[in-house]
Amino acid sequence: MSYFLIFIGAGLGGVFRYLMGKTVQNLSNGWIFPIGTFSVNILGCLLIGLLAQISEAKGIIGPELRLFIFVGLLGGFTTFSSFGYETVQLIKDGEILYAILNTVLQVVLGLICVWLGYVIGRFI
């Protein structure tokens, strides 16, 4: 059942990401900055923080609904929200060095890997 909940949530999250990103980008009147993706990522971070706090403080989001929302829906909407949530959790747990390492490595290595993918793709 857990996999099914994640599957459905991720599908819905992906559709929501596409619709919101496209709508926001279209409203930007041709601005070159990727405001659609940016807005999806920022909203996803806000939502995962808000819902995590409500879940932790009030205990109203059970394990299955948590999987559906956090892993599926918000994971499909943006994995950046999971990255933000996990980094904040590291900070809350006093693991500042790991939080910094997580942030730097994911951003820097992520960009390097995108570039590397382009380079490799040129030879295929």
60-89 pLDDT per residue, tens: 889 999 999 999 999 999 878 888 988 999
- Give CA separation, 79 vs 43, 60, 89, in Å: 12, 23, 15
Distance of alpha carbon 73 from alpha carbon 65, whole angstroms: 10
Structure tokens at 92: 């809350």
10 close to 73: Cβ distance less than 8 angstroms: yes
The count of C-alpha atoms lying within 13 angstroms of the C-alpha of 17, restricted to the half-sphere facing its C-beta, is 23
Asked whether residue 3 carries a pLDDT value surpassing 80, the answer given is yes
Distance of alpha carbon 64 from alpha carbon 94, whole angstroms: 28
**pLDDT score for 78:** 87
pTM of the predicted model as reported, rounded to 2 decimal places: 0.77
